[in-house]
Structure formats: C-alpha cells, structure tokens
Amino acid sequence: MSWRLSKTLLVLAAALHWSLVVFNNLFDHPTNLHYVQHVLSMDSVEVANRGSWRAIHSPAVQHAFYWLIIVTEAAATSLLWWGGFNMLRALKSESFGRSRERAVQGLTLVMLLFFSGFTSVGGEWFMMWQSGPWDGLDSAAHLFAIHGIILLWLGQSEPG
C-alpha cells in the first residue's frame, strides 16, 4: 500500500507544481512572455552567429509560442490531476495499474515539452545555450529529470 501511496503522492505533487506554473504564466504573463521573446528573437546570442536568421521578431508569433507552452502545461496539469485522483481512488483496488494511465500521459507531455520544446527547439534551434540570462536549459533538464524519475517510479511494480 505504501508503494502505491508514494506513486500517487508524487503524481499529485507534480499536478500541484504545474498548477502553480500555469497560474504564474497566466497571472504574471509579461514576465515569462519576456523570457520567450528573448529566446525567440535571439537577441542575446553571439553577434557573429550564423544561425541568427532563425530569429522570430514577430510579436504575434512570439505570443503564439508562449500560448502553446501554456496550453501544453495546462493539458499536462489536467492529466496529472486526473491521473492522481484516479490513482487515489484505486489505491486498494486491483485496477491501480490501469488508474495510472492519465498520470503517465501527463508526465510524458511535460517531458516532451521540456525535451522537445525547451531543449531541442529553444536550446538548439534558437541557440538558447548562448543566451546568458535567458538560458533555461538547466531548468529544463531538471524538470525533465524529475518527471522522468516519477514516470519510471510509476512504472515499477509493487512488491508482493
């Protein structure tokens, strides 16, 4: 029972985290939009960078990128809450294994956002790694790792 409770609480903790992230992105919209605008405009990469042609300066496209991030985070949040509550309801049931499905989807969505979105698109395509204060690759790696660990733990069978 404690193995199942551990998995459930970690999923609910992830859901709480992403609820706070979405809240902050909605209610402190300009702060995080500013970050996205700097990354997409590539205004802090090396001046002689031959990849600067990739920069996006259109405010409309920058806003669309930001909203795509927020919608993805909100979808992951919903899946994590849904999965966490399903797991909570199934703690003592034979259906606990099946109850994890939405949580797996939510964790996977977070990992895709931070690996594909932040690390690949932001980090490599927009060369965020050259951006000094706008380099979010360490944070992306931490979030990817944390959620990957929870996902791996979720997939482990319980003893007995």
Question: For position 83, what pLDDT does the model report?
Answer: 98
Question: For position 159, what pLDDT does the model report?
Answer: 76
Assess contact for 26 and 73: CB atoms under 8 A. no
Residue 49 placed within a domain? no
- In the chain, % helix, strand, coil (3-state, to 5) comes to 80, 0, 20
Domain that holds residue 141: 2-44+55-155
Which residues, given as ranges, of the chain have pLDDT below 50? none
Residue 139 placed within a domain? yes
Residue 160 placed within a domain? no
Phi, psi of 156 (to 5 degrees): -75, 140
Give the C-alpha separation, 144 to 108, whole Å: 9
Question: For position 131, what pLDDT does the model report?
Answer: 85
Question: For position 137, what pLDDT does the model report?
Answer: 93
Question: For position 157, what pLDDT does the model report?
Answer: 87
Report the predicted TM-score, pTM, of the whole model to 2 decimal places: 0.92
| Number of domain units in the chain | 1
